[in-house]
Amino acid sequence: MRVALVQTYHPYTQFTHVHPLGVMMIAANARAQGFPDVHLLDMKVEDWTPEQAADALVRLAPDVVGLSAMTYEAGCMHAVAQLVKQRLPRAKVVCGGPHPSVAAEDVLRDPHVDFVVRGEGEFTFAELLAGLRDGRAEWSGCQGLAWRSSDGAIVQEPDRPPPQNLDELPFPAWDLVDHAKYHKVPRGGVIYAHPEFATLFSSRACPWRCTYCHNSYGKTFRERSAQHVLAEIELLVTRYGVKELVFMDDIFNFRPERAKQIAQGIIDRGWKLALTFPNGFRGDILDEELVVLLKRAGMYRCMVAVESASPRLQKVMKKNLKIDKVRRIVDFIAAQGVMVHGAFMLGFPTETEDEMEETIRWAAASSFHTAAFFRVIPFKGTELFRQVEHAGYELPTDWSRYEPYQAEINLSAVPEQRILRLRKKAYRSFYLNPKRLWRIFELIPQKRTMLPYLTLLFARRAYAR
C-alpha cells in the first residue's frame, strides 16, 4: 500500500513556513506500524497550486492520500481532494489536521473525501491503513475516525485518547523532507540566525483555556523527556547538519525543570546551536534561571504572548495573565541580550477603543524588541467561535477569510476602519523609537538579509492597506 501525505497551502500575506511536523509524525508512525511506502508532499515549501499537487500525486499513484489543513487552507484541501478523485479515482482521500478535526461533518459533506481523522492522528491513521489493507468495510470502534456508512450517513466515532507517553512515538520522518528547500524560505518567527534549521515539538498541549486558542492537542500538557528531545537534536545535528532549532511548543516552560534539563543537555554536549521560541513562553510563570540557561544554550530570540494589557479583557479571554510579572520578565530577558518579541491582539468581543489604545501604549513602553498586533479571529472549534456564534454573529463560511494576517472579522464594537487605523498606529508607535531601533540593530542576526526584509514588513503593516 502506497501512502502520500500532503501538507496543503493557501497563499497568504506573510509567507513563512516551518517543517510540517504533523504529517511528518503521521508518516513516522505509519512506517513504525508496518506501512513503509510513505511519501510526503509539502505544497507550501514547493509553492504548488492544487493542480501541481495533483500532478505530483498522479506520478506517485498512491492508494491513500492524506491531506492536512489549517482552517484557512480548507479550500485548498477540498480542491486537491476533488482533483485526486478525478485523476486517481481508486485512491482513498483522508483529511486531517486542525480544521478537519473540528469540522469533520463539514469536510465529509464533500463527496471527494472518504474519511476524516480527528485530533492527534498517529494511531487513528495507522488503524485506518490496516483496515483498508485488510478490506475492512465497517469502521465502528475506530476511535477518532469520521466516515460514511453504506446509506451515506456521516458517522463520527468517539475521540481517541491522545498518546500519553510521547517518548514512545518515533521521531518525525526527517528523511522524507528535502531539508535544503526549507533553508530558502522565510520561516515562522521571520528572524533567523542560520538557514540550516529544524522545527521541534518537545511537548503537546497547554492547560490554560484561552477562549481564542485551538484545541488541537487538548488541555492536558504532555511532555517528551529531556533525554528523548536531546536524542532527536543529536540526530538533526549529526545527520542533517542543523545549526538552529525552532521550538514550536505551545508552552515550553510549563515544566521548568524539564526545560532546564534540555538547555543543560545542549550546553553539556557543546553543540553551539542557535535557539528560538516563536510560539511563546507563558510570561508570568517564566523564571530567570531558565532564561539564563537557555541563553547559554543558544537562545537568541523568544516570544512572549500578552494579547491585551487590559485586566478586564484578560478575564474575558480567560488567559488571566499577570501583566506586571510579564513586564518584569520581559525586562530581564532583554537585559540578557536576547531579542524578545511580543504578541498582541486587537478586537476581542466587547473590547473598546480605549482598551485597544491601552494595549498599544503598554507595548510601546515595554522592553520588547519587536511586536505584532493581530486581529482576534474566532477559529472554528474554539470557545470564542462558539461564543460569537451563540450570540448570533454571522461568521464567514469562506474559510480563506480566517487567514491570520489580514482577516477582517470584527467581533468588537469598534468600527472596522478605526481598528485598521489603530493597528497601523500600533506599529508606528512601537517601532518609530530610535532607542528600540538601535536595540534591534545591535542584536539582530543576518543583518544584511534581515534588515531590508523587516523594513518592508514594517511598511506593509504600518502604512499599507
pLDDT in tens, 229-275: 999 999 999 999 999 999 999 999 999 999 999 999 999 999 999 99
Summarised one tens digit per residue, pLDDT across range 309-358 is: 999 999 999 999 999 999 999 999 999 999 999 999 999 999 999 999 99
Domain ranges in the chain are 3-156, 187-462
Segment 353-408, tens digit of pLDDT: 999 999 999 999 999 999 999 989 898 889 998 898 888 888 888 887 787 666 77
Q: Within 121-186, where are the H helices?
A: 122-133, 179-182
Angle at 148 between CA 142 and CA 154, to 5 degrees: 95
How far apart CA 114 and CA 214 sit, in angstroms, is 25
Integer distance in angstroms from the first to the last C-alpha of the chain? 49
Contacts 24+ apart (CB under 8 A), 452-456: 453/186, 453/190, 454/190, 454/191
pLDDT number for residue 401: 79
The CB density around residue 284, as the number of other CB atoms within 10 Å, is 18
Given this model, what pLDDT does residue 279 score?
A: 85
Handedness of CA 343, 349, 351, 357 (dihedral sign): positive
- Residue 465 has a pLDDT of 55
Query: What pLDDT does 464 receive?
Result: 63
CB count within 10 Å of CB 369 equals 22
26-35, 129-138, 171-180, 451-460: range with lowest mean pLDDT: 451-460
Using CA atoms, how far apart are residues 27 and 62, in angstroms rounded to an integer? 14
Radius of gyration in angstroms for the set of CA atoms belonging to the chain, rounded to a whole number: 22
- Reported residue count of the chain is 465
Helices (H), 14-166: 21-32, 43-46, 50-60, 74-87, 98-102, 104-108, 122-133
Cross-strand partners of 40 = 5
Residue 397: the pLDDT is 81
Strongest mean pLDDT among 116-120, 280-284, 417-421: 116-120
| Per-residue pLDDT at 13 exceeds 60 | no
Retrieve residue 74's grid coordinates. 480548507
Q: Which residues contact 431 (CB under 8 A, 6 or more apart)?
A: 437, 458, 462
Instruction: Tell me the three cell numbers of residue 318.
Output: 480567560
**Mean pLDDT along residues 155-178:** 97
pLDDT of residue 294: 98
CATH H-level, domain 3-156: superfamily = Cobalamin-binding domain (3.40.50.280)
Topology (CATH) of 187-462: pyruvate-formate lyase- activating enzyme (3.80.30)
Asked if the domains 3-156 and 187-462 are classified in one and the same CATH topology, the answer is no
**163: which DSSP letter?**
P
List alpha helices for 306-415, DSSP H.
Answer: 311-316, 323-335, 353-365, 383-390
